[in-house]
Amino acid sequence: MNGIIRTRVSTRKALILVALLAAAIVIPRFLSPFPLSVLMLTVIFAILAMSLDLLMGYTGMESLGQAAFFGIAAYTIGIFSTKYGLGWEVAVPVALLASIVLASISAALSVRMTGLFFLVMTLVISQMLWGLSHRWGSLTGGYLGMHGIPRPIEALQSNLSFYYAILGVLLVSALLMYRLVRSPFGLTLRGIKESELRMRTSGYNVWLHKFIVFVIAGAFAGVAGVLYAYSSQFISPTVLGVETSFEAMLMVIIGGAGTLSGPVLGAAIVTGLRNYLSVHFENWVIVLGVVYILVVFVAPNGILGLLPRRLRAASGIGQEASDVDELKIAVLSRQSTDQPGNASAQSEPSERIERERMETLRLEGVGKTFGQVRAVHDFGLTAFTGTRRVILGPNGAGKTSLFNLITGVYKPSEGDIYLFGEKVTDLAPHHRTSMGLGRTFQVTNLFPSLTVMNNARLGALGVQSSKYAMHVPVARLDDVNERCRDLLQLAGLWDVRDALVGNLSYGHQRQLELIVTLASDPQVLLLDEPAAGLSLAESRSMVELIGELDRRLTVLIIEHDMDVAFEVADEVTVMHQGEILAEGSVEEIRGNEMVREVYFGQSYA
Amino acid sequence: MEEWATRILSGVTYGGLLFILASGFTLGIGIMNIVNIAHGALYLLTAYTAWTVFSMTESFVLAIVICCLTGGLLALVLYAGLLKRLHQRPLAQILVTMGVTLIVAEFGVIWWGGFPRTVERPGSLAGSIHLGVVSFPAYRLFMLAAAIVVGVLLWLLLERTRVGALVRASVDDEEMARGMGVDVGRLYFFVFGITGILAGLAGAIGAPFLGAFQGAQFEVLLLALLVSVVGGLGSVTGAFIAALLIGIIDSVGKSLFPELAHFTLFAPLILVLAFRPTGLFGRTQIIK
Amino acid sequence: MATMRRFLALFLAIGLVTACAGDDSGGGSTTVGSTTVGSTTAGSTTVGSTTGGEDLPTLKIGIPLPFTGVVAESAEEMRQTFLMYIEEQGDTLGGLPVEVIFEDTETDAELVVTKTRKLIDDDQVHLLSGPMLAFEGLAMLDSVNEAGISLVGQTGVAADDYTRLEAPTLTAAAKATASQETMPFGSYAYEELGYRRIATLGQDYSWGYQTVGGFQYAFEAAGGDVVQKLWAPIGTTDFAPFVNDIDREVDAVYVTLIGADIPRFVEAYSDFGLKEDIPILSSEDLVAQDAIRFYSGDSAVGIVGVTPFTTSIDRPEMQTFVEAYEERTGNVPTFWGESAYVAAMVIDRTLKYVTETNNIALQDLPDWVRSNGEAFATATREIDLSDTPSSPVTVDEYNRQIRDFYIVELVDDGGTITDSLVETVPAVTQFWTFDQEEFLANPLFSRDFPSE
């Protein structure tokens, strides 16, 4: 049933696209030169806006610096062709190279910064270039710019023919981005936007992914810059100015971020506005200023976001994240004939477990201090294959901090941590995950705007090298998809695999939380209050699920719910004010007076 | 020798102006995480205002007072009317302030026309002062003195007054501060007003030196950005040091490397980006 | 259904693009000026009646100018003087009623190109005039050449480059070249002022290179020596480094700067006490009316500059022009406005000339003009321009103006600064006293030529 609806949607979409394409090809023949030149600008800025959307809409990186890569490519073309008389065969590759190099440098400098600072850094870099282009009159012609840039080849001399050329480039760019967005790498970008922390603990080198997409976006911006220089045959410092960067952002926002068609629409609207407002209003700049303000208050999700939600959902707008690949799943998926509750959540035994009993996790004198607060102090623990240990303790005892230390989200102030005998104290979270460490979160940390299936995929991809693949749709990674199917079926979530996580019940989310972690094939599993907030029945299901796990896994579990805790675990560590209060077997701890007093407060049967 | 003294002093005094230009901008970022793109436009408006006031009354003091009031008032209106509703939405605030920049600059054209205006140096500050063998323009020394005064006052405000303590607490943990009864909204209102006053002061003091001109909305923004990033976003101390540093490097650099005159302003930024991207006094926890 | 809406939304965008195709060719395509003088419909001005009598065709002239942006006021001045001339001729040019279509280039050099194409193709103008900023004409050149339409240049065709470029339909009868104005000044500095060693400070782009270059070339040819050449990036905020670097042993400093940099430099120069010791010589920029208005105090007093336009000359045509403009707008005109005014004059008289010599019926005149851009431009050499406001003008074989230049000094006239005439240099060509062939064999004046 679902499959049929989706087919209809994608056919509808395809029809619209074809109609638009036809219009884009036919109409310009009848346009007079001025509207044609505005249309050409629209196409060029559409590419620029799309490049920004890759960053903003898909990866959540808000950048005000795209003008830098746009402008440097344009200026390279200008300088090479007018000052040195070089042809496009030399100028274009160098221009693109310039964009890529600049983007790499910018990325290296700014990607590790968070939100606001990243924004300012991107702004300042492009502003510096603008300032330079203004002042360096001998190279760039200063504020009057460079003129007389010849078209690359004779055949493209006329505006109409050049228009078709750039339309072609737009289509190719859109196609490439489409593939990118559908690929595993594209999925990781969306994951990063939703929850960077989850991505890092799922095995992704988030910095690297951001770096790569930043450079890719810079390259596309460079393409737009090259086209701009050849199209207008004239450039001036405005291409590097704040206004260009801001307008690109305005285009993305007006059109709707996170979609590929949004920026194109936005480009059309903003370019049209710019060029036609001035015809009718002397102080048109004020109108533009008002638009900036209005967009923020009235249409933060873009013009399409103003449509009624029901209609939006039915047409598939704003949900490009979950469409056609789901169709493929419906078509390709085999009916699962595996026994439910297959004994092993991992289909293959991990290579890491060579002997029956091997040390998996060891903490020695681990501590963490925040300023004056000692969150964890002198914590020691050794776990082996098959260890099932629960960490108990009142709130503020340092349990979650302990998990953060083990996973690498916090760096310890003292002590060392060993995974499978190797010292990992200074290792980043994603490395630890790839070694076989997995962790769930106390507060559900999933990717709410993505489907259940995509959430599982992200869990699985984290430890696969195919996470960098950009050329295949993620729906075609059979091994990953199979694994996800198995896990989802295990948790009874297969039927809702196309639902957006944000729409799931809390209970389902908690289960998915576990599944996503399991998907990375961890040998050491840290469960942070897996039953938190669950009803009795749901807790039961959770316990069953945990019970399905391979007996060879090391499991550390933080729990308040004693039923769950003592069913799952064999050993107990009780923490109090950051230190170990007591440890031992379940029976020992149950009988421990001191623990009872401190923790339970009253007798517990 | 005296050449070098003049060069360095020129740079330092220029740095004084840069600090005044940037102080309001970096304060807004540091305390409220607001990147006020309209900061340059505020300069434009108040610099033109200074020119108007001065041509009508010949009183520089009056110009300063009116500019500070204008700047403060505009900032308050901007905050209450627009920015407050966008609390903790930095991108939205940036877009809105960009819109405001365009609007304010265009009003500048409507009211004052497109031509640049310079304010005459007020009488007492018009001449030169003799410092030993060097004769140095008085107005530049005034700029430096003003910068020092502003810097000290800001420091006192933030570090030594109750209001300052409340501000710092709110920056650290807003929820906690609210929970303790601090009227965070009013506090931010007050602080943003201060950034406006600083912008107004920059306009008044900058008018005789930089002039009031179309294009200032972006030029001054660039300068403010430079100083803020080099000094470390949000750090007033950093801005002060950075401003002086930039001024000196620009001045000395232009003399030593005239071929690179267009780079000298950006050299400190490039160095900082290469070796210490968070800026001289920036917060390091913004790096993961 | 919803997809219909999306379809529509996208078509709206495309519609935006095509929407104004109809608009433009009609009555209005430009910005509205801030003045309401004359019968101005939204930007396009139809002057002269087409009713009554012969039903003459309308001559369409397209003029791109930066009506928004930093030089908007001067652009407006150029619009006003152009229209003023037409009205003085009884609302006709060359006997034809005129429609002038002004286009706003928003001080964006790139828009000059777009708007030019629009004027040529959409509006089907018969002639182009303008632009305003010194090198914008170069931006228009490709389109102009391609269309074969004549461009009657205003201040925006001042580049030395044109003489060496393919520009058959261009006439610069209303504007001298950049170096044309400063070369006589260079000779003057040596011969009359007795200067021997000079330092130069130029804005670091083409206008700076060509004006400084011209000055230096002539000065050194006369025997002088330019010992130091400084270049200031556009938008320099602090001129102290430059001022402090100036060689104190020179007799004078020659300066070309633009815009807001002018008062900044002049103030810094005065601040550091050089004003008393080393006089400033300058291009037209520092002594022009719009620069004078914005100096403060007396820091600019004593600057000696060369200019094509000054109200201090004793010339009846100048007085008439100034009075007429003052009556029209309440302001004093500058060289910007005069160039536009002369452009209109050139169009008017050339039209009359070609009508006579080629025996063209007025009915056919507009079309003839559009199809014979080169002939029209060439014809500008033949007309009488002895009565332009600022100087008698003749036109050389490159369609370039030959004119008088004025050396003025800024003086304190009871509290306000004005320019006062010092010397007139008559009939200056773009080659000054140099051999034409040799001059053209040299490279264009640039940052490195002539060298220090």
Domain-embedded: residue A411: yes
Domain assignment present for residue A335? The answer is no
What's the rounded mean pLDDT across residues C148-155?
94
- Return the pLDDT at A307: 64
Which ranges constitute the DSSP H helices of C192-300? 206-222, 240-245, 261-271, 274-277, 284-287, 289-292
Q: Where are the beta strands (DSSP E) in A420-546?
A: 422-423, 437-439, 524-528
Number of folded domains that form chain A: 3
Residue C452 lies in a domain: no
Quick one: pLDDT band at residue B263, thresholds 50, 70, 90? confident
Determine the pLDDT at residue A599.
64
Please report residues of B whose CB lies closer than 8 A to that of C237. Answer: 14, 210, 219, 223
Confidence bin at A35 (pLDDT 50/70/90):
confident
One-letter identity of residue A238: T
CATH code where residue B152 lies: 1.10.3470
- A601 confidence band (pLDDT: 50, 70, 90): low
Task: Tell me whether residue A166 is in a domain.
Answer: yes
Q: Which is it for strands C127-130 and C59-65: parallel, antiparallel or unpaired?
A: parallel
- Check pLDDT > 50 for residue C272: yes
| CB proximity A34 to C under 8 Å | yes
Q: Does C364 map to a domain?
A: yes
- A424: in domain: yes
Q: What pLDDT does C3 receive? A: 41
In a domain, A19, yes or no: yes
Under an 8 A CB cutoff, do A289 and B101 touch?
yes
- Specify the pLDDT at position C180: 96
CB contact under 8 A, C231 and A16: no
Instruction: Please report the pLDDT score of residue C45 as a whole number.
Output: 60
pLDDT of B262 strictly over 60: yes
pLDDT of residue A344: 38
Same domain, A5 and A60: no
Minimal C-alpha gap between C411 and chain A (Å): 32
Residue A537 pLDDT greater than 80, yes or no: yes
Among A43-57, A545-559, C107-121, whose mean pLDDT is lowest? Answer: C107-121
Q: What is the pLDDT of residue C19?
A: 35
Task: Give the chain B residue nearest C300 (alpha carbons).
Answer: B120
**Are A582 and A592 contained in the same domain?**
yes
- Domain ranges, residue B142: 2-286
Residue B27's Cβ-side half-sphere holds a number of Cα atoms within 13 Å equal to 29
CATH number at residue C157: 3.40.50.2300
> What mean pLDDT, rounded, does chain A reach?
83
**Predicted local confidence at residue C18, as pLDDT:** 36
Q: What stretch of H or E contains C424?
A: strand C416-428
C167, two tokens: 């520009």
User: Three-state SS for C207?
Assistant: helix
Cα A274–Cα A275–Cα A278 angle in degrees, nearest 5:
85
Position B204 confidence tier, pLDDT thresholds 50, 70, 90: very high
Domain with A523 in it: what CATH number? Answer: 3.40.50.300
Q: Of A122, A124, A277, A411, which to mutate for an interface test with B (greatest number of B Cβ within 10 Å)? A: A124
- Residue A383 belongs to a domain: yes
For residues A135 and A40, state if they share a domain.
Answer: yes
> Above 50 in pLDDT, residue C7?
no
Question: Chain B closest CA to A224's CA: distance in Å?
Answer: 23
Residue A352 has pLDDT above 80, yes or no: no
A417 φ/ψ angles, rounded to the nearest 5 degrees: -130, 135
Span A144-162, average pLDDT: 82
pLDDT of residue A309: 59
Q: Which domain holds residue C199?
A: 178-307+404-441
pLDDT over threshold 90, residue A218 = yes
Residue C38 scores a pLDDT above 70 = no
C130 and C63 inside one domain: yes
Task: Scan for tokens 């260079």, then name that residue.
Answer: C186
Closest residue, chain B, to A140 (C-alpha): B262
Span B228-239, pLDDT tens digits: 999 998 888 999
Q: What pLDDT, on the 0 to 100 scale, is given for residue A333? A: 29
Q: Do A289 and B106 touch (CB under 8 A)?
A: yes
- For B147, residues 6+ apart whose C-beta sits below 8 A from its C-beta are B15, B16, B17, B19, B20, B240, B243
In a domain, A540, yes or no: yes
A143 inside 8 A of chain C by CB: yes
- When pLDDT is averaged across residues B198-211 and rounded to a whole number, the result is 94
Least confident piece of the model among A532-546, B57-71, C223-237: A532-546
Q: State the average pLDDT over residues C54-68.
A: 88
Q: Do C296 and B118 touch (CB under 8 A)?
A: yes
Q: Are residues A138 and A13 part of one domain? A: no
Residue A273 has pLDDT above 90, yes or no: no
Q: What is the pLDDT of residues C285-322, one digit of tens each?
A: 999 988 888 887 788 999 999 999 999 999 999 999 99
Number of compact structural domains in chain C: 2
The answer to whether position C4 is within a domain reads no
Do residues A545 and A582 both lie within one domain? yes
End of a domain among A240, A256, A284? A240
Mean pLDDT to the nearest integer, C52-73: 81
> C41 vs C310, which has greater pLDDT?
C310
Per-residue pLDDT at A311: 53
Q: What is the pLDDT of residues A432-466, one digit of tens each?
A: 999 999 999 988 899 999 999 999 999 999 998 88
Q: What pLDDT shows up at residue A19?
A: 87
Range of the domain at A12: 1-30
pLDDT tens string A114-124: 778 888 888 88
Of C70, C245, C268, which is closest to B114 when you measure between CB atoms? C70
Token digits of residue B190: 């007050």
pLDDT at A356: 64
**Same domain as C271, residue C415:** yes
> Residues A302-338: pLDDT tens digits?
776 666 655 555 444 444 444 333 333 322 322 233 3
How many Cβ atoms are within 10 Å of A306's Cβ, its own excluded? 12
Q: Mean per-residue pLDDT for A220-228?
A: 96
- H-only helix segments in C89-238: 109-117, 136-147, 178-191, 206-222
pLDDT for residue B284: 57
C5-8: long-range contacts, CB 8 A cutoff, minimum separation 24: C5/A307, C5/A311, C6/A16, C6/A304, C6/A315, C6/A317, C7/A16, C7/A19
Averaged pLDDT, A158-169 = 91
What is the structure's pLDDT at A341? 37
Q: Region A45-58: what's the mean pLDDT?
A: 94
Q: A130 and A226 in one domain?
A: yes
Q: Which residues in chain A have their CB less than 8 angstroms from residue C206's CB?
A: 137, 141-142, 144
Residues C258 and C147 in one domain: no
Per-residue pLDDT band for B285 (boundaries 50, 70, 90) equals very low
Interface of A with B in 67-126 (CB under 8 A): 109-110, 112-117, 119-121, 123-125
Give CA–CA dist A388/C447, Å, rounded: 78
Same domain? For A22 and A3 the reply is yes
The whole-number pLDDT of residue C47 equals: 56
The one-character DSSP state at B127 is S
pLDDT tens per residue, range A101-143? 999 999 998 888 877 888 888 888 888 888 888 777 778 877 7
What Cα–Cα distance (Å) separates residue A382 from each residue in A223, A419, A521, C208?
Answer: 55, 10, 21, 77
Dihedral sign for Cα atoms in the order A400, A406, A410, A415:
positive
Residues C291 and C410 in one domain: yes
pLDDT at A570 over 50: yes
Q: Is there a contact between A86 and A282 (Cβ–Cβ < 8 Å)?
A: no
The pLDDT of residue C16 is 41
Whole-number pLDDT of residue C335: 93
Q: To the nearest whole number, what is the mean pLDDT of chain C?
A: 85
Q: What is the predicted pLDDT for the residue at A172? A: 95
C105, C228: one domain: no
Q: Which of A268, A281, A307 shows the shortest C-beta gap to C13?
A: A268
Answer yes or no: is pLDDT of C133 > 90: no
Taking one residue from A and the other from C, the number of pairs with CB-CB distance under 8 angstroms is 173
Into how many domains does chain B fold? 1
Mean per-residue pLDDT, B153-171: 81
